[in-house]
Amino acid sequence: MQTPANESSHRLTYVLVFLILGGITAVEIGLTFLGLPRATARALFLTLSLAKAVMVALFYMHLKYDHRLYAYIFIVPVALLAIFAYLTVAS
Amino acid sequence: MSSMAVSHHDEFKAAKALGISHLKLGMWLFIASEVMFFGGLIAAFLNFKLNVPTDEIQLLDVALVGVNTFILLTSSFTVVLGLDALRQDKPQRLAFFLGMTILLGVVFLGGQAYEFSQLAQQGVTLSSSVFGSSFYTLTSFHGMHVLIGVLWALRNLLGTLRGKYGAESVEGIELFGLYWHFVDIVWIVLFTLIYLI
């Protein structure tokens, strides 16, 4: 059962995650105006979006705190999606 | 009989034969199926984007959609704050955050509608090109998910105002939160694949 201290710490985590997500989004928009080489830009954007998605999943969807089974249920189709998308694009 | 006297607090106490909530397990399995659903659409869009290049992609307004992305991220923030408030047995604060979530969701949908109207004026429609078809299909399906989430949030708000939720019955809001955050994650991916790369 959560203690008041734990509840407060989660709220601070939520705020920090929100600020980081907002900051990353601002950085992404800024990068679009820099005219970076395509390969560099794609690698940067994919990495940043992966970071945002992971943070939402871990902290907002509580995968970090919940039963591991939920994480496996989520990760397996995501991995399949990544493989499927790669094969579709590569063909 | 005691089994007949079920309080409204028990409504969302799901069976836990596996040691975990069956309702929550069901929601995660649903999310897994949604990953595959969006996966097919994303793969098709990527295929067209990379193998059938078009100048229409230059018409996309990254700044506008970037603001819209921030709005959706903020709505995820309000959802998680609402759940946190409920766990502290503060349903009034939950109601506030649900109201904010609904407002932000509606603003997001309005932003999408505006973007669609701008693109349509420039000749990018569902039937104008392969890019148009895949773009509108992908973003519209996501928009439909946001709309469903907004309606679900509205239902939750009405339930909260009627005293349906409390510190002992949070699962309904938790399940909604999982759905909403997933829709947010999908948009994070779509924003990157459609507008950034």
Helix B22-51 crosses helix A68-90 at what angle (to 10 degrees)? Answer: 20
Look at chain B and count its residues.
197
B158 touches chain A (CB under 8 A): no
User: pTM for the full model?
Assistant: 0.90
**What pLDDT was estimated at residue B17?**
63
Put simply, the answer to whether A78 touches B70 (Cβ < 8 Å) is no
pLDDT in tens, A51-68: 999 999 999 999 999 999
* Nearest CB neighbour to A89, from listed B19, B50, B70: B50
Distance from CA of A22 to the nearest CA of B (A): 6
* Predicted confidence band of residue B11 (pLDDT cuts 50, 70, 90): very low
Looking at residue B15, what is its pLDDT?
58
What does the pLDDT read at residue B3? 46
Per the prediction, chain B carries an average pLDDT of: 91
A78 touches chain B (CB under 8 A): yes
ipTM, two decimals: 0.89
Query: Which residue of B lies nearest to A78 if distances are taken between CA atoms?
Result: B35
| CA nearest neighbour of B62 among B144, B123, B118 | B118
Exposed, middle or buried by CB within 10 Å (0-12, 13-18, 19+), for B94? buried
Residues B46-105: pLDDT tens digits?
Answer: 988 888 888 898 999 999 999 999 999 999 999 999 999 999 999 999 999 999 999 999
Between the CA of residue B39 and those of A10, A79, B138, B172, what are the distances in Å?
31, 10, 10, 27
Q: Domain spans of chain B? A: 61-197
How big is the CA angle at B49 (ends B44 and B50), to the nearest 5 degrees?
A: 105
Tokens of A65: 């705190």
pLDDT digits (tens, 9 = 90+) for A6-39: 445 589 999 999 999 999 999 999 999 998 998 9
CATH of B61-197, one of 2.30.110.10, 1.20.120.80, 3.40.50.1480, 4.10.520.10: 1.20.120.80
One-letter identity of residue B5: A
